[in-house]
Amino acid sequence: MPREQYADTMFDRVMVANRGEIAVRVIQACNELDIESVAVYSDADEDARHVRLADEAYHIGPSVARESYLNRDSLLEVARKAKVDAIHPGYGFLAESKSFASAVEDSDFVWIGPPSEVMEQFGEKTKARKIMRRADVPIVPGTTEPVTDVQTIRQFAHEHGYPIAIKADGGGGGRGLKVVHAEDEIEEQFTNAKREGEAYFDNSNVYVERYLENPRHIEVQILCDEHGNVRDLGERDCSIQRRQQKLIEETPSPALTETERENIRSAARKGAAEAGYVNAGTVEFLYEDGDFYFLEVNARIQVEHPISEMVTGLDLVQWQLRVAAGDPLTFDQADIQPRGHAMEFRINAENPSKEFAPMPGTVSRYRQPRGIGTRVDDGIDEGDKISPYYDSLIAKFIVSAEDRLHLLQRARRVLQEAEIEGVPSTIPFHRAMLDNDAFRNGEYSTKYIDEEFSMSSEEAE
């Protein structure tokens, strides 16, 4: 579509306040919209691919993230110096920082993401649960106010039974989550959850809810504009996790019936509308025994967004830019008819035989898979370094086919073609998963990798 058909307010210059593959992804979207891109980089990323691709690049500090990619003052100073119109935060770093979003909104720049007040609502889980309850979205039985004493937790456990979960109000990624199996554990885990919440999220508040012992992790991709249009792009199943870190994602979920699928997508739209959500985001749920419950909202683009793009044909990052520029969504919910099946395999510089320990170093050989139904999102080229300062992600292999069975066959070919040398990678893990009966049959939960799956030393090499 020619640029003149976009909003009159379409940006001329956008700063990408991130690094790696997501920075590359945003820069590519900007290029296709004829928007100039401005990259930022730390000492460790001086020669990084996102720096090479951008129209301009500015140094923002030392390799340590808190002095560069988490340095709000430095990022805003670069934005002023580069005379950009808007800032895209990517994911990670400051992408879900309501204070950074607010600082951008208070400046002369446009924040490419949900409004800071919406981010604040979803940043605290008790506030988010209240929003979903108002929207008639199922939530896990639990409190919607912070818990301040042990006796309240004891009473909840007496009413609902064990196990229960004590969770940090600002938590995520498993941090600040403590599972309690008996009364004599309550006091210690209450203290631990509060301590972790303070340390990781600067918020010592906690709440309590019933603990689901064997759930699946289902999330719904949403896209909303400032004109009141709310759309979903289908669900993703992110249940293949290790220590609550996602490894493989797929869409559609092999666990849901068509009725359950429509119900969970409808719930996501209702919750987004109730919150006044704008831009791209993800409404996450836990699913167990035919029931689903709201978990949280990720108020940003997700690592696994490409699989939703593969089955819908929509470019989510371009739509982030268009929505932030004031464009209304140009399609109805009925127009979104996901086709086929897609999976994303996260390829990290980690050694599966050593508890997935990160292994930074130089990628001496990098052969990307190619062919029909194959997409690679990455932020490196052969000869680049995987830095010890940041996430160990090398690439995302996204595979699509007309159905799940054919996708599994195609994925085997894709993972056989790929070659990475110089650092260990998680490719052997993914190859092993393709031979795993539980995975092939779609019969697994978020606990499967941690509690049931194991690799032989030969498979891990």
Over the stretch 52-61, which tens digit does the pLDDT of each residue have?
999 999 999 9
Q: State mean pLDDT over 263-279.
A: 98
Ranges in the chain annotated CATH 3.30.470.20: 216-460
Helix (H, G, I), strand (E, B) or coil at 219: strand
Per residue in 357-368, pLDDT tens? 999 999 999 999
> For the segment 146-202, what is each residue's pLDDT rounded down to a tens digit?
999 999 999 999 999 999 999 998 877 678 899 999 999 999 999 999 999 888 888
Return the pLDDT at 2: 45
Looking at the predicted structure, is the pLDDT value of residue 7 above 60? Answer: no
Strands 341-348 and 393-401, sheet pairing: antiparallel
Residue 204 has pLDDT above 80, yes or no: yes
Cα–Cα distance measured from residue 122 to residue 4, given in angstroms and rounded to the nearest whole number: 35
Residue 251's closest CA among 278, 232, 267, 270? 232
Query: Residue 1: what pLDDT?
Result: 42
Predicted confidence at residue 173, as pLDDT, reads 67
CATH code for residues 216-460: 3.30.470.20
Q: Which CATH class is domain 3-112?
A: alpha beta
Yes or no: say if 367 and 414 are a contact pair by the CB < 8 Å rule. no
For residue 9, give both structure tokens.
């307010």
Percent of the chain with pLDDT over 90: 89
How confident is the model at residue 199, as a pLDDT?
86
The stretch 397-423 carries a mean pLDDT of 98
Mean pLDDT of 328-354: 96
Please check whether residue 340 is in contact with residue 251, taking contact to mean a CB–CB distance below 8 angstroms.
no
Band of pLDDT at residue 8, cut at 50, 70 and 90? low
Position 170 scores a pLDDT of 81
**C-alpha distances in Å from residue 451, one per residue of 242, 444, 454:** 9, 11, 9
pLDDT in tens, 213-244: 899 999 999 999 999 999 999 999 999 999 88
Q: Can the peptide bond before residue 89 be classed as cis, meaning omega within 30 degrees of 0?
A: no
Q: Where are the beta strands (DSSP E) in 215-272?
A: 216-224, 230-242, 245-251
pLDDT band with cut points at 50, 70 and 90 for residue 443: very high
Is the backbone of residue 371 left (phi > 0), alpha (psi -120 to 50) or beta? left
| Closest alpha carbon to 11 in 112, 80, 116 | 112
Residues in the chain: 461
Query: Is 311 strand, coil or helix?
Result: helix
Mean pLDDT of the chain: 94
Within the chain, all domains assigned CATH 3.40.50.20 are found at 3-112
Give the closest residue to 261 by CA, choosing from 231, 235, 238: 235
Q: What CATH number was assigned to the domain covering residues 141-210? A: 3.30.1490.20
What integer pLDDT is reported at residue 175 of this predicted model?
82
Predicted TM-score (pTM) of the model is 0.92
Domain with CATH 3.30.1490.20 in the chain: 141-210
Helix or strand holding residue 29 (H, E): helix 20-32
Query: What is the rounded distance in angstroms from the CA atom of residue 32 to the CA atom of residue 6?
Result: 12
pLDDT in tens, 98-116: 999 999 999 989 999 999 9
Instruction: Over range 337-355, report the average pLDDT.
Output: 95
